[in-house]
Structure 1
């Protein structure tokens, strides 16, 4: 009895003893287990926080539960139900303690990973305390990283992705509020029921960034987030495809860094120490690096863009949402929509013609962030864009940006934007408009001159017939470089020669033959068309439209020829071209079924070499030809639109930095004159300074005037003294 009372009052001691010998202390554990069940029943009757004792009891049972698995098999479910059903009634300390105990049970393999994540995902949007939210987030990410460390855990990944899809879809039908004016100010912490959906997008982005997930399902989650009614969810999703960080939405991913101005002020008012100087230097370097990385983070996430399912529908939905809610969105958010839509259109060569009608209204030189709008316009154009849709856009650009009533920077930006559009679709330019733009090559401003010459050089290469004869240049006049000229609209440079991923299918079929024996492919040929046949939409019931009809020949052979003359012999069969070395043999030996194409897509998604090669090729920036090639990624930067500009006048910070740089290696005060070439450093004397003074400075001095007024005796005395000094110096 005494031992039980002592152990009841000291749970850490009992925990230590149970872990050493669980069978000997089973009775004491059952007493604590009964005490826990009674407290739990009381909690269900009267939901209220049970204080410190209840938290200690929960931690004790979680620690020793692996020693008594049969008795505590329902304990994890108890903790999950306590969190999910009574989350608002629990104190912050108790919530954090329960989550920590669940994580500990997962580490001890008492709780499965899926069961833990099913409990943690609903808590993300409900948790307000930063420590609890950070614990849940880190637990989810670390658990998925550990599960996919050695090999992909397909079962767990599918379950988690299904949870994330559900988190997004639960709030897809909510009302669009927007981020403009009063709606932006009145947005709550969750922002129109978007807290759960925002966490789904942020977690998917983090898992993609760390390389845990790289499949099309994770891209589909973020693509669904782009269509969410909540603007914060949209913004976080769009920044993922644009390859940029969204610090405003992702406040859990990192901080803004130290406040440099605050640290500099502290160095002024506090005691000067070397450690403080080093700390300030490190902070300044870190801040500069972060700004540089943010400035260079302009490369789109091309692997994710290529994995978008049905990009045409995705682009049309993006444009529909942009146009429908134009008055609800702020300008920054609309530009974000334009950037993503243009990237998708350029990457997949989509034709969303309404986008050009929409963007025309923003093509004015006084429009805020007009350079980003011009970048979006240029990126959306490709060789399959109809020239008729672009001609009104080019005329609007020329009318708004290229005329004498605006500054040279505006003219240069307009011509550069027109050049970037025409580089991708040269047939959008009109002859009279081109003549007006090329005439600016004689401008005195360097930016305008460079932009006009760039447009002239482009059309000398791709379509010199639009230029006047004297502007075509020698090469175009002589017919040199005709192979580089732009093809007519809709023409491809060469026919398709191979099917991407066909070699992967061939290797797959070879492995099947080796495993199942020869003939396995022929037996399953008919099954490959199963469930892929398309029913006839014709409403006619005629026998002629129902299919093929067998016709009997009455014993005579019927010869069918294409020749109009019955007496002519049928033409000989064409000679078979020998396959070039390299293409797969399946191109000439097998008719690919829809199931084969589906298998090719699956094999390409699983093959890391093809994904890496395509991603590397898409990220590579081509510098060679002026005209856009089929493999060009279509990326445009703001510097290409603005063109070369004069060096702007330095601001106060830059001038002070230049002054500080010039003072490096110098003493704080005083001149270095007379101190460089002397053994004993000293300054010059007053006599030396007087001897080297300019004449105009001493003409009005008292000494010069005194010489003119001196008597004859004074002059003789000075002359004698000079002669004596000269004699002494000579001897």
Structure 2
């Protein structure tokens, strides 16, 4: 049969990839062929716009007429529709590939695709899953080719995200949104794009704010008309999820992002509200939150997938055991994650709150108003956030203490988390009168002989944490405090530790509330000096850098080791050179440390010119330097003492003129102490005046403080010195590992429970303990009578009987019993031996 020759144009019309390749090489020569294909695309687009469900694929289950495809006619129409849909998808891909070659002809092409996919998401079109995915992929390709901007693409993808029902397409859209925003902000912050995207997200959150709130408990749960309206909160939930991802990746970390989540905390949809609250708590999990693709593997095996497989294929014992192992792994990982996140908190987000007082009041009003509609878990989550906001910003939401008092019972579920929330909400500006009922409720409910030792320990520890933040809450309750301290004589370790901790706390912060025999020597001396500030009075302002004299002594010792005079004035040029070298070394170390991390703690502040910041070299500074040098020379020559004495005489004369003999006597008594204080201040401030401390100097200062505290502990210092050393070491550890700093600001459940008896281990913990004990040990088993042991001994009786001559064993009692055994006894022994062999084979 002869071959049918076809023209070159017909081949190109039928082979779109080949035509696409030729157009990319020479677009002008193939403009007619492209126009032909583009007209074909427009005709199919008009057909689709006029008749919904026109190109539905086989996954939709309906033909063009909307009838089921179960009959023959429906199958035929469905086949034609699938062919038309395939042609439409190929044309869309072809036009998107060559759109940059014909910008005038395809200027409306991206807008047509966006309108088509958005109308389909609203239910106006019947596109299949394949057509939806093709349109989204081509829009992304147009963005990669700079045919459309990121704003145009994101304005299409954001509304489409909550509309689509395909998990694959939804995951693709989500990944593309995060990737596009990250790429736009990688070299520098794209503020224009960020403003537009944040406005879109804020609009998605605001859409469902007018709906009636529906709880998640009992009769207030789903099933009503309001619950159906609440289902519209999917957009807000996706908005919060995307914000959490962008915050976690350190793409967005500004106050406007936090304000969007603050608004979401008041959303009527409980799932949106929970996800927003968990954002501030630093927890990646939230009620209804969408799990990210990157973190899905951290939860272990997919239990739903395994259970679905068991329902489809034949059930076997091996699959059952595999299911049990997977369930065990998932439960263990969930416990580990829950234990690790109990003390986490998104501290930077809490610091960026615009109006923390208003935010705290809104949280409390929402929780109180819908108390009967929310579950206990949701209310505890709100309590945790509210307490952390109150503690971080020192807020006074006094109604919170009245609200939480009804949950302070030892039989309350999750009472430890409630106690943690209570303690975290207290600070030094909390009125003590509000906390007095709380203290009484804790003492009456938790600390009495009718409860267990763990309950008593939790109650005393809770009172201690509240008192640590507001010591005056026990004012007027000396008898109650004395009774609580008496529990230090208990036989339970946890109760004893809690009572001793409470006693030691009040010895430090407010020893006046203790009885005289309970104060201790150091606390009594501190009380006589009047060092306890009253409520509302803060600590004295810092008048210098703590431990600066240690750094001065270190520099003096270094100069002495180099053969220089420690008291000689330092050359300013040499000092500036040393400071510049120290700063240069510190910056190099920071750059090396930041090469492996995404962000650093230092921000580079750029200026238009190097002359924007200049150090003043005025005449006043020169006079100040000359005066300081003169003082140093006078001190070195022995004149400083006489000068100080002369100044003292002048002060005495002035006092005589003003106050007479009485003032003279007062000044004469106070002169030695005043002179000593001024000398210490002068010594302390000299180094700060002469030298600008670099970060390396501060690091050296912290090391010197730790060494000094260590020496004080070794010399027999008290508990205060030990706690100071522990605080300095913890501070140094937090500087080396920045991620641990926010977590140290809040309490954990373990601090409320205190030390407890060793809990019973589960199967996995017991097996791990057994395997750990076998490490570095020879194979276990008895070596009785073995020849390879360290001290060889004689053989066992069994070995001797085995090697005994037959003539000596034939008349033994054991052999005679075998001969006289009945048939039934022989059968039983043979059966037991057979069972034993089977067990060995297993």
State the TM-score, normalized to the length of structure 2.
0.62
Tell me the CA shift for residue 250 of structure 1. 2.9
1:115 and 1:497, CA in 2 relative to 1: closer, same or farther beyond 3 A? farther
Separation (CA, whole Å) in 1 of partners of 2:302 and 2:607: 62
For 1:422-501, list aligned pairs within 5 A: 422-429=467-474, 430-477=477-524, 479-480=525-526, 486-495=532-541
Separation (CA, whole Å) in 2 of partners of 1:645 and 1:41: 74
1:371 and 1:287, CA in 2 relative to 1: closer, same or farther beyond 3 A? closer
1:217 and 1:129, CA in 2 relative to 1: closer, same or farther beyond 3 A? same
SS in 1 for 2:105: coil
- The unaligned stretches of length 5 or more in structure 2 are 1-5, 56-84, 545-603, 615-681, 690-720, 729-740, 804-811, 815-842
Separation (CA, whole Å) in 2 of partners of 1:182 and 1:350: 35
1:236 and 1:486, CA in 2 relative to 1: closer, same or farther beyond 3 A? farther
Tell me the CA shift for residue 249 of structure 1. 2.8
Tell me the CA shift for residue 434 of structure 1. 0.6
The corresponding residue for 2:207 is 170
The corresponding residue for 1:324 is 369
Q: 1:308 and 2:353 equivalent?
A: yes
The corresponding residue for 1:43 is 48
Q: 1:376 and 2:421 equivalent?
A: yes
Separation (CA, whole Å) in 2 of partners of 1:460 and 1:510: 53
Q: 1:140 and 2:177 equivalent?
A: yes
Q: 1:646 and 2:757 equivalent?
A: yes
SS in 2 for 1:25: helix
1:431 and 1:625, CA in 2 relative to 1: closer, same or farther beyond 3 A? farther
Partner residue of 1:103 out of 100, 123, 140: 140
The corresponding residue for 1:63 is 97
SS in 2 for 1:151: coil
Separation (CA, whole Å) in 2 of partners of 1:653 and 1:673: 32
SS in 2 for 1:416: helix
Deviates more, 1:413-422 or 1:38-47: 38-47
Tell me the CA shift for residue 107 of structure 1. 0.5
Separation (CA, whole Å) in 2 of partners of 1:194 and 1:406: 45
- Tell me the alpha carbon deviations over residues 413-435 of structure 1, each in whole angstroms, 9 at most, x when there is no partner: 00000000000000001212111
Separation (CA, whole Å) in 2 of partners of 1:39 and 1:687: 95
Partner residue of 1:223 out of 262, 274, 280: 262
1:399 and 1:154, CA in 2 relative to 1: closer, same or farther beyond 3 A? same
Q: 1:181 and 2:218 equivalent?
A: yes
State the TM-score, normalized to the length of structure 1.
0.71
1:436 and 1:140, CA in 2 relative to 1: closer, same or farther beyond 3 A? same
1:159 and 1:121, CA in 2 relative to 1: closer, same or farther beyond 3 A? same
SS in 2 for 1:249: coil
- The unaligned stretches of length 5 or more in structure 1 are 499-506, 518-577, 585-621, 692-700, 704-731
The corresponding residue for 2:466 is 421
Tell me the CA shift for residue 143 of structure 1. 0.4
The corresponding residue for 1:594 is none
Tell me the CA shift for residue 170 of structure 1. 1.2
- Tell me the alpha carbon deviations over residues 159-207 of structure 1, each in whole angstroms, 9 at most, x when there is no partner: 1111111111111111111111255465989953210001111111111
- Tell me the alpha carbon deviations over residues 543-590 of structure 1, each in whole angstroms, 9 at most, x when there is no partner: xxxxxxxxxxxxxxxxxxxxxxxxxxxxxxxxxxx9x89999xxxxxx
Separation (CA, whole Å) in 1 of partners of 2:222 and 2:800: 73
Tell me the CA shift for residue 231 of structure 1. 1.0
Assess if the C-alpha contact under 8 Å between 1:424 and 1:627 holds in 2.
no
Tell me the CA shift for residue 218 of structure 1. 0.8
Tell me the CA shift for residue 70 of structure 1. 1.0
Separation (CA, whole Å) in 1 of partners of 2:334 and 2:50: 54
Higher relative contact order (CA 8 A, sep 6+): 1
Partner residue of 1:3 out of 8, 19, 24: 8
The corresponding residue for 1:686 is 798
The corresponding residue for 1:94 is 131
The corresponding residue for 1:257 is 300
Assess if the C-alpha contact under 8 Å between 2:511 and 2:523 holds in 1.
yes
The corresponding residue for 2:434 is 389
The corresponding residue for 1:706 is none
1:354 and 1:104, CA in 2 relative to 1: closer, same or farther beyond 3 A? same
The corresponding residue for 1:351 is 396
The corresponding residue for 1:558 is none
Higher helix share: 2
1:625 and 1:417, CA in 2 relative to 1: closer, same or farther beyond 3 A? farther
Partner residue of 1:117 out of 122, 147, 154: 154
The corresponding residue for 1:694 is none
- Tell me the alpha carbon deviations over residues 386-415 of structure 1, each in whole angstroms, 9 at most, x when there is no partner: 000100111011111111111111111000
Partner residue of 1:82 out of 116, 123, 126: 116
Assess if the C-alpha contact under 8 Å between 1:423 and 1:626 holds in 2.
no
Assess if the C-alpha contact under 8 Å between 2:303 and 2:326 holds in 1.
no
Q: 1:158 and 2:158 equivalent?
A: no
Separation (CA, whole Å) in 1 of partners of 2:187 and 2:330: 34
Cα RMSD of the aligned pairs, angstroms, is 4.3
Q: How many residues align?
A: 582
Separation (CA, whole Å) in 2 of partners of 1:496 and 1:178: 50
Q: 1:401 and 2:438 equivalent?
A: no
- Tell me the alpha carbon deviations over residues 99-131 of structure 1, each in whole angstroms, 9 at most, x when there is no partner: 001000000100100000000000111111101
Separation (CA, whole Å) in 2 of partners of 1:360 and 1:122: 44
